[in-house]
Structure 1
Amino acid sequence: MNGSVTIVGAGIGGLTLALSLQARGVGVTVLERAGELREVGAAVALSANGLRFMDELGLLGELEEVSAQPTELIHRDWRDGRRVTAFPVGIDGSYRRRFGAPYLGIHRAEFQRVLACACPEGMIRLASEVVDVESGADGATVTLASGERVHGSVVVGADGVHSRVRSRVAPDARPVYTGTSAFRGIVDVADMPLLPDPGAIQFWMGPDAHVLHYAIGARAEAVNFFAVLEGPTPWPGGAGPTETDPGTLERAFAGWAPGVVQMLTAVPQSPHWPLYTLPPLSRWADGRIVLLGDAAHTMLPHHGQGANQSIEDAVVLADLLARPGALDGGHAGAFDRYQRLRRARTRQIQRSSLVTSDLLHLPEGPAATARDERLAGLDPWLGWIHGVDARADTRPVPA
């Protein structure tokens, strides 16, 4: 097959795209600015709408070996810890039966390792910082900080929320601070005996804050937590995480259930992370340059869909770029269809995640009571997210 694809960013979306294209015989080069593969963040939740494609790539079994499957999905009250809702997940296999793949908690570094090890030697180029991208009539060229220029038929920007490639596609687009922020950490289960049901994925809901946690590791021996607060507004310092006063996290959750406090204080306080969203882009591509994942649709993590939507982007884009002629003058049609297939879905999840943030942070009172009643009657897995086959319109028909 003629043509090649240059991918900027060796994160989850970029590596999934690389593997999906490589399986079709498309030449791929992945450029990663870091000198070693090291995912930012603690862990990631992988849902069936992403893991079904990992199964197609032959990686699901390996991922299950280093992951934990939650027993239940539980929403709890912030102060007394009562169960507002509880739905089975892995405890009875109902999630997998419904959606065709498990729900897994995995350390980001483990997930990235599995993806990277599946890539052929030489495909991933580390210490390759991209400083410019140009689109031309016969291809796209990436300029590295070293001065080297890397040419391909198309360039895919999979370089995250603060994407450099996006500045070429949508120069005026900027991530927007949502007015919420987070601390994160990983705690051994043995170090927090007061936490109920450590093997479950749980949301603790409270005034102006919430905590999400789920088990990770092959034996569910640790728990990853994500503690979200309102503010500060405006965000102090630069665009990324900042160090803040020791004890900030502990003070923010004073008075919460003992198990939550024990978990949050069992490890040193992490950097303080601003949470961003990206206003919808009018276009995801320009010439021979196209965006993927957070570079195109940064979203709040409250549905656990950041990584999974990047995976969906990757497999759809791979289907379209692997078609005859797509890399030999047919890129515009491929990019247009990719955007039409992916934009509405990712916008819907972005909006829903924003609404969820507000609902999780309601003060005690009638509104919170009404929310709890609605949660008890909702589909806990939002079938419109987990049950969708992103490749339904692009998967090749078997010969």
Structure 2
Amino acid sequence: MALQIVIIGAGITGLSSAIALKKYLPDPKPIITIVETRSAPSTIGGAVNLTPKALRYLDHLGVLEVLHAEGAGAECRAIELFDLYTGSKTADLDFRGRDGDGIGKTGSKKYFAMRVMRKELQRALLKVMGEQEGCELLFGKDVVDIEESTDGVRVGFKGGQSIHGDVLLGCDGIHSCVRSLLIDKDRKPTYTKIATSMAVSNVRRENQLRWDATALISSRRGSFMASYFEKSRKQQYIAVVLETEEVNSREGWKVKGADQAEVKRQILERFDNKAIPELRQLVEDAGDWTLYPVYKLPHGGRWTAPGGRCILLGDAAHAVLVVDIPIEGA
């Protein structure tokens, strides 16, 4: 009899897990149900950097082929690190490999990195998942109860309906309901007072960028990242990490009206420097800023339920603070 698998969360982790389980588990292939609280695929999030290892995994899953066919993303051979105050490059995070032709096993494919919008990656994952038999995706389902037993797992929804499975994967992010309802109720995420401000900006012809694909500019008051994310190389995705006392939505919110000007003012106050004048044009021409609050989980905790039928993956399990901003005057 085929294994019945329930996955909570239709983000990158949940969709990747579903495709991998379908591809690599032996026959009979599992029956997979993915449950998503939103009514449609999420478009929250900016441009992610897919490392050579990530691209190799996506290639195995058949997702990289879809990304290439759709013309998504921009190749990144190195992330170049710059000092804001001198404008000089301090280092490379290099994806070119020893021979300059990428990273991978000898005699097999090699890969550089790729910067791609999260929604494009999710669209490619959804396409590949949709080609798998025995995969169902349920949108608009609020999980209110999860019970694990020796016979399986029951997931209860708002309104009284429920589904059953042999195994449950919690791929529902930092605010995981699987963690809070079943696996680790006392391990709660906390806001770091740090948020990422994200936007897309056109690159003017006269604005000669000193980086090839992606730049990371560090300063005493935060970090500024700018990167191509589409093949025409006419736009840059920019993300700025700033201390932010309060963000009204735990998932991020789009800045409107006068707040746009205030966000730009704060960023320019920190990063407008004659040593790297390109940054001013990118900030001034950017629009539709989105603030994405950064949460973290305490170290330790459980990743699996007592009966071993439920497991947390991705941010639901191990999200930690990955940025460090010195506080002025400290």
Q: What is the TM-score of this pair, normalised by structure 2?
A: 0.82
Q: Give the deviation of 1:129 after TM superposition.
A: 2.4
Other-structure match for 1:76: 82
Moved more, 21-30 or 260-269: 260-269
Q: Which whole-Å CA distance do the structure 1 matches of 2:159 and 2:112 have between them? A: 43
Q: Give the deviation of 1:362 after TM superposition.
A: 8.8
Contact 2:200 2:237 in 1 (8 A): yes
Other-structure match for 1:249: 263
Contact 2:74 2:115 in 1 (8 A): yes
Paired residue total: 304
Moved more, 56-65 or 283-292: 56-65
* Code of the aligned partner of 1:78: L
1:144 to 149, 157, 160: 157
Other-structure match for 2:314: 293
* Code of the aligned partner of 2:103: R
Other-structure match for 2:143: 130
Other-structure match for 1:205: 218
Other-structure match for 1:344: none
Q: Give the deviation of 1:104 after TM superposition.
A: 0.6
After superposition, the Cα gap between the structure-2 partners of 1:362 and 1:270, relative to the gap in structure 1 and judged at 3 Å, is same
What is the RMSD of the two structures over their aligned residues, measured on CA atoms? 2.6
Q: Give the deviation of 1:18 after TM superposition.
A: 0.3
Contact 1:183 1:269 in 2 (8 A): no
CA offsets per residue over residues 371-392 of structure 1, 9 Å max, x none? xxxxxxxxxxxxxxxxxxxxxx
SS at 1:52 equivalent = helix
Other-structure match for 1:177: 191
Q: Give the deviation of 1:90 after TM superposition.
A: 5.7
Other-structure match for 1:345: none
SS at 2:67 equivalent = helix
Q: Give the deviation of 1:193 after TM superposition.
A: 4.2
SS at 1:113 equivalent = helix
Q: Does 2:26 correspond to 1:16?
A: no
1:105 to 115, 122, 130: 115
1:120 to 115, 127, 130: 130
Other-structure match for 2:200: 186
Q: Give the deviation of 1:210 after TM superposition.
A: 1.0
* Code of the aligned partner of 1:149: S
Other-structure match for 2:235: 222
Other-structure match for 1:232: 244
Contact 1:5 1:154 in 2 (8 A): yes
* Code of the aligned partner of 1:72: A
Q: Which whole-Å CA distance do the structure 2 matches of 1:77 and 1:29 have between them? A: 48
* Code of the aligned partner of 1:182: T
Q: Give the deviation of 1:211 after TM superposition.
A: 0.6
* Code of the aligned partner of 1:282: G
SS at 1:96 equivalent = coil
Contact 1:33 1:130 in 2 (8 A): yes
SS at 2:228 equivalent = strand
Q: Which whole-Å CA distance do the structure 2 matches of 1:283 and 1:88 have between them? A: 35
* Code of the aligned partner of 1:36: A
* Code of the aligned partner of 1:247: A
Q: Which whole-Å CA distance do the structure 2 matches of 1:291 and 1:271 have between them? A: 28
Instruction: Indicate the percent of aligned positions where both proteins have the same amino acid.
Output: 26
1:36 to 21, 40, 43: 40
Q: Give the deviation of 1:238 after TM superposition.
A: 5.0
Q: Which whole-Å CA distance do the structure 1 matches of 2:103 and 2:48 have between them? A: 22
After superposition, the Cα gap between the structure-2 partners of 1:79 and 1:248, relative to the gap in structure 1 and judged at 3 Å, is farther
Contact 2:97 2:103 in 1 (8 A): no
Other-structure match for 1:7: 7
Structure 2 unmatched ranges of 5 or more: none
* Code of the aligned partner of 2:191: Y
Contact 2:52 2:104 in 1 (8 A): no
Contact 1:67 1:217 in 2 (8 A): yes
Q: Give the deviation of 1:53 after TM superposition.
A: 1.3
Contact 1:129 1:144 in 2 (8 A): yes
Q: Which whole-Å CA distance do the structure 2 matches of 1:236 and 1:36 have between them? A: 24
Q: Which whole-Å CA distance do the structure 1 matches of 2:287 and 2:44 have between them? A: 17
Q: What is the TM-score of this pair, normalised by structure 1?
A: 0.69
Q: Which whole-Å CA distance do the structure 2 matches of 1:297 and 1:87 have between them? A: 24
Q: Which whole-Å CA distance do the structure 1 matches of 2:42 and 2:284 have between them? A: 25
Other-structure match for 1:85: 91
Other-structure match for 2:58: 54
SS at 1:147 equivalent = coil
Q: Quick check: which one's helix share is greater?
A: 1
CA offsets per residue over residues 225-281 of structure 1, 9 Å max, x none? 11011x234x35453435483323222223333211221221225233221221123
* Code of the aligned partner of 1:251: R
* Code of the aligned partner of 1:69: E
Q: Quick check: which one's strand share is greater?
A: 2
After superposition, the Cα gap between the structure-2 partners of 1:246 and 1:185, relative to the gap in structure 1 and judged at 3 Å, is closer
